[in-house]
Structure 1
């Protein structure tokens, strides 16, 4: 039973981390660039609409479920650190929880909240939007790399088992 649970969590985490890495990559590769090229008010309004819709979409169960699964894998790996793949399991969980979840909560969400509070058409929103585009995208790059690295580590853990 323990082996089945661990294997299931590893597969779920690998797939969830990979799915989220792809989403974050898309934002880093072209969505944010495109939003930065359009009119400020339109860009801010579009990003606020995305941020509003994402919390009501299938993204949230994947985001939260993958985070929970990764946290459980950290604990399971710690309890079974001598087993093959445990180090990769712990590493993948830590990289994901810190590099994706905590970065999202501490960096990206506050930036989203500041943007939502701004009047998209105001002159005061111009420096906020410029800073948002740079800072949010930087932290999104971190989330992309962390999610991809966690995926690789979970695949390594699966292969070692």
Structure 2
């Protein structure tokens, strides 16, 4: 059941990150910088109190548990795909979010009312989106690997 949950959860996360990479950030970059900054800061506040957070944490924990479990049952069908899916998700989504995306969001929030906000906005858009692409691909690949493991397990 955990493998099914994570396959679906990683797919949902991939879809969310895909939306940001393909149109939300592009639309934010097309409006006035002050409005884009305000919108992104608002999104960053709202997302912390949304259903995104339980999904974010539960898929992260499930990926870690599944990766450990895969090592323990290495000779069973699908174990290699489960391990790969868990590691890709943990590094490409979780580590990337905590090490890069969250600090960028905090910098944007701190700079929102300062003179450095406007020049920072263009750098933020480029860097945040670049790393969000990494999260999108990682979540998509993890979803595919978890589905592959389910197929292998029959």
- Aligned residue runs from structure 1 range 90-129, under 5 A: 90-120=83-113, 122-129=114-121
Who is 1:70 aligned against?
63
- Aligned residue runs from structure 1 range 115-154, under 5 A: 115-120=108-113, 122-154=114-146
Who is 2:3 aligned against?
10
Cα RMSD of the aligned pairs, angstroms, is 0.8
Who is 2:78 aligned against?
85
Report the alpha carbon displacement of residue 143 of structure 1 after superposing the two structures with TM.
0.1
Who is 1:54 aligned against?
47
Secondary structure in structure 2 of the residue aligned to 1:42:
helix
Q: TM-score, normalised by structure 2?
A: 0.97
Q: Distance in 2 between matches of 1:143 and 1:59?
A: 15
Secondary structure in structure 2 of the residue aligned to 1:52:
helix
Who is 1:158 aligned against?
150
Report the alpha carbon displacement of residue 118 of structure 1 after superposing the two structures with TM.
1.0
Whether 1:30 and 2:23 are equivalent positions in the alignment is: yes
Q: Distance in 1 between matches of 2:69 and 2:116?
A: 49
Report the alpha carbon displacement of residue 154 of structure 1 after superposing the two structures with TM.
0.1
Q: TM-score, normalised by structure 1?
A: 0.93
Contact kept in structure 1, 2:63 and 2:85, CA below 8 Å:
yes
